[in-house]
Amino acid sequence: MSTEKQVADHYTHGGLIAAIVAGLEKLGKTPQTVTIDDLAAVDEFHIGGRQASEDFLSRLGLTAASHVLDVGSGLGGPSRFTASRFGARVAGIDLTPEYVETGRELNRWLGLDARIDLQQASALAMPFADASFDAAYMMHVGMNIADKKALAAEVARVLKAGGPFGIYDVMRVGEGDLAFPVPWAASPETSALATPAAYRQALEAAGFRVTHERNRRAFALDFFEQMAARTAAEGPAPLGIHVLMGETRAEKVKNMLANVKDGIIAPVEMIGVLG
């Protein structure tokens, strides 16, 4: 089995739409009345959720004239945020067919399907012409892609000169063995963590100039603390990233938090400008 197939299988849920509809019912919502903010808790599958998207994507200079690439788009939460907040057109690619199909359905619910195009594809061989996009980003994606230089080169191919490529990934920032499973991998075989230095080298080799880098460890610890407090007080929310992670969700979150606390990993923002 290829690594990409293993990664897609890891994220496959099997009944995502039904699970999301069930969560909406508990909120008193339906596909006809749901809002983008209702969905943020489940479709922003990265540390910090909507707040992280707001902080990170606002750094890319996006406008209504921008054509934006979402690399590893998942359920399309950041794509929908980008389209609604900035008015941009967005194309997203993801390995997991169920994520793509679910994301398309959520786009239809919100009336954003005309501005967002989600496709099943590999980030290492994207179905787009050279210089197709004004900007690109990925959020918690590179941890499943071992060849960071090939990834950066493929993004550079489809990005226009002068365009920013924003990365918000979990990166290795210290020594030590990781506790598994974590949200992006059940075992080390499909985990491709790299250091910020490795990301910078990959970006520079592809022709990017790194203009921004920020370690968000403190933000992550605060996010997990708040999530734990809400869960303790109210129980699991009707919609949340726990819906995506299946039966091992508690162990994945526990291990992720331990790895961050131990200083082994941290979410890091990085932006490179092409040319």
User: Is a pLDDT exceeding 90 seen at residue 115?
Assistant: yes
Task: Give dist(CA 205, CA 207) in Å, integer.
Answer: 6
Residue 122 sits in which domain range? Answer: 3-274
Task: Give the mean model confidence (pLDDT) for residues 91-99.
Answer: 97
Residue 31: helix, strand or coil by DSSP? coil
The domain tally of the chain equals 1
CATH of the domain at 59: 3.40.50.150
* Residue 29 confidence class, pLDDT cut points 50, 70, 90: very high
- One-letter identity of residue 40: A
Residue 145: helix, strand or coil by DSSP? coil
- One-letter identity of residue 125: A
Question: What's the full length of the chain, in residues?
Answer: 275
CA atoms within 13 A on the CB side of 97: 4
β-pairing, 89-94 vs 164-172, is unpaired
pLDDT in tens, 251-267: 998 999 999 999 999 99
Average pLDDT, the chain: 95
Task: Give the mean model confidence (pLDDT) for residues 136-161.
Answer: 98
pLDDT in tens, 169-185: 999 999 999 999 999 99
pLDDT at residue number 239: 84
